[in-house]
Amino acid sequence: MRRATLFCSAFRLAALSACRSSASEDEAARIAVETTFRRYVDFVGRMASDSIAALYTRDGELLGANMRTIRGPDSIRTFLSSFSNVHVDTARMQTDHISIAGDEAVQWGTYSQAATIAGQGMVHVEGRFVAHWLRQPDRSWRLRRMLAQPTPSGPTRESSEPSLGAGATRDLTLPGAMQRMLATAVPGFRPYSISHYAAEYRAEYKFSDRQAMFAVIGDFDGDGRLDVVMDGYDGRRQLRVCIFNEAAGPRLVVVDSVGGSQPGDTTSDTFLIFRRRGLVHSNWERALRLTTDAFEVDYDEKAGVLYYYRAGSFHKYITSD
């Protein structure tokens, strides 16, 4: 009887271990699919037709409303290259769920895109998508099928203000005018993403529609319009830039600049926090009354520094140690 009990216990432990291993493998697959998908979204934003097509399997399909099925990387590349009169201003795709079944994955999510069509102006489309992924012999993931379905309401005017997504990646979306200002003023600049921050920092950080570790949205100059400050890299320097959403058009200010190589993933211990207008206290300085929104740079185990805009420039105020 004792031998039978021990055998049953060992069997249950083996079964539990197998379940945990399977769950771990599925989670690793979800991360791999999401990582490849982020590359796909970046390529869409740059209309890099060659790179987009290369992420499809040899019989991969691109599908959409009121269009024929585009099959195979060569046909997909040709189809996308035909949109030479379209400039993508912003491209946002957000994952809702990824299901894993062996070497296959199905991904559901939403998308939003603003584009300028030559001779027609700017349009904004949004909707839902579903993607079917296949794991390849080299363990990479490729698209077998991508279907995008726009919302029934059709194109709408693009928002004039920046926004932060509510999904797992907390994507930052900039209006087309801000995108163009950023590309002109700081060529090559790319905002960071939450992947630049270690898991323990992400777990403790309080995300909102105003803050996401690498970016803060607020009315910094008090004109009633939402501005944005973001940390990123331009290929040579780590930069903190602010884009003011002014009535005459966006205006960019470089808040901080640090030379050197781009920090690797999950290494940054510096993140941004939104601070609402009001009274701010410090152990080091006299209390400060904010008349506009501001942002704070929080350094792990070091003093925090508040940045507030006044009389045409940003000023610093030490908040903690």
**Contact, 254 vs 272, CB < 8 A?**
no
Which pLDDT tens digit goes with each residue over 137-175?
Answer: 999 999 999 999 888 754 445 567 898 876 666 788 898
Residue 78 counted as domain residue: yes
3-state secondary structure of 33: helix
Note the Cα 141 to chain centre separation in Å.
Answer: 20
For residue 126, the model assigns a pLDDT of 86
Provide the CATH number for the domain around residue 69.
3.10.450.50
Give the residues of the chain that fall short of pLDDT 50: 1-11, 13-19, 154-156, 261, 263-266
Which residues pair with residue 146 across a beta bridge?
62, 131
For residue 21, the model assigns a pLDDT of 54
For residue 269, the model assigns a pLDDT of 74
For residue 4, the model assigns a pLDDT of 45
Segments forming the whole domain that contains residue 92: 24-158
Please give the angle made by the CA atoms of 177, 147 and 162, to the nearest 5 degrees.
20
Same domain, 36 and 141: yes
Same domain, 152 and 171: no
Q: What would you report as the CA-atom Rg of the chain, rounded to the nearest whole angstrom?
A: 23
For residue 218, the model assigns a pLDDT of 92
Residue 19 counted as domain residue: no
For residue 268, the model assigns a pLDDT of 65
Residue 17 counted as domain residue: no
Residue 136 counted as domain residue: yes
Residue 6 counted as domain residue: no
Element (H, E) at 259: strand 249-259
Residue where one domain finishes, among candidates 158, 193, 214 = 158
Q: What is the pTM of this model?
A: 0.53
Same domain, 166 and 306: yes
Strands laid side by side in the 104-117 sheet: 70-71, 56-64, 141-150, 121-135, 104-117, 86-101
CB atoms within 10 A of CB 99: 11
Residue where one domain finishes, among candidates 158, 189, 210 = 158
* Rounded Cα distance, 290 and 317, in Å: 11
**Contact, 212 vs 172, CB < 8 A?**
yes
Element (H, E) at 185: helix 176-185
Residue where one domain finishes, among candidates 104, 130, 158 = 158
For residue 127 the two structure tokens come to: 């909707």
Which residues pair with residue 122 across a beta bridge?
116
Alpha helices by DSSP H, listed for 62-175, are: 73-81
* Rounded Cα distance, 160 and 76, in Å: 32
Number of domains forming the structure of the chain: 2
Same domain, 67 and 187: no
Which residues pair with residue 306 across a beta bridge?
296, 317
Q: Which residue has the tokens 């002014």?
A: 246
Same domain, 154 and 33: yes
Residue 4 counted as domain residue: no
For residue 320 the two structure tokens come to: 């903690």
Same domain, 248 and 271: yes
Which pLDDT tens digit goes with each residue over 263-281?
Answer: 444 456 788 999 998 998 8
* Rounded Cα distance, 35 and 258, in Å: 28
For residue 262, the model assigns a pLDDT of 55
Contacts 24+ apart (CB under 8 A), 145-151: 145/60, 145/61, 145/63, 146/56, 146/60, 146/61, 146/62, 146/63, 147/63, 147/64, 148/63, 148/64, 148/65, 148/111, 149/64, 149/65, 150/65, 150/125, 150/126, 151/126, 151/127
Burial bucket for residue 230 (CB in 10 Å: 0-12, 13-18, 19+):
buried
Same domain, 207 and 247: yes
Same domain, 186 and 251: yes
Same domain, 195 and 58: no
Greatest CA separation found in the chain? 85
* Rounded Cα distance, 65 and 245, in Å: 35
* Rounded Cα distance, 168 and 96, in Å: 9
Same domain, 50 and 191: no
Same domain, 197 and 91: no
3-state secondary structure of 182: helix
